[in-house]
Amino acid sequence: MKRTSSLKALLSVGLLGAIVAGSVVSADAAEYKGKSQGSVSFTTGSIKLPGEGENPGGTEEPETDPSANFGLLYVPKEFTFMATEVPTSTVVGDTLISLDTPTADNPATKHYAVADVRGARTAGWKLEAKLTTPLSSTKGSVTKTLAGATIEMSQGLNKLNPTTWDTSKPADDDVHKPDTVLDKVSLSTATQVVMSASKETATNAADGRGEGYWQGELTDIQLKVPAGDMNNVRADETYTGTVDWVLTDSI
């Protein structure tokens, strides 16, 4: 028994010596140092334009630079209203004229779209629309206008997916949703802001409105002609005009 105990003691001493010796070698190991640099850059985006057949019917695309980061994707192509008989009695109130029978170029529901991928956070934007001049008719040297006529319509807001060009209604708590969207739009020769988006509320808030792809949807479209204008029209007159859409990168 004593021999066994002595052997155990000897093995223990030998193991301890090996551990101590190993520690001394580790402490004396050479050490080499180096440094690596890290970086990341953030850039503005580049808007994606709808391909052929990807934009809604009855729209046209303004001239937009494909490398732009902000712009109008499309606007309604036309507003064509129904041919209307001249009244046989004096008109005393407004006359409301509906859109003509829907066609590919003149659908009952019309759209426009804005894209903002600037990443500026503090920019904001506004979209304005107006009749360039009153709707007018020229016969020979005589030009007549519907001076007080307005295009009346309801407006909704859609969020666009630029990958599939599908639309969805934005959630109420979507921090990027444009914050001024008129429910009712009345286009006249006076400029009207139909939709706008304000800048970021505070540094680091990352809640700049209007960032992304947004579509205005126009429905219940009618031409409202005041009594004075309606009493002045004659058969075989066609009144035409132009709607201007202007997107500005500030509000």
Task: Give pLDDT, residue 11.
Answer: 43
Which residue's structure tokens are 């990352």? 206
pLDDT value at residue 9:
45
Residues of the chain with pLDDT under 50: 1-7, 9-11, 13, 15-16
pLDDT at residue 66, rounded to an integer: 65
In angstroms, the CA 236 to CA 175 distance is 52
Contact 136, 87 (CB under 8 A): no
Model pLDDT, residue 22:
52
Predicted pLDDT of residue 62: 84
**pTM higher than the cut 0.85:** no
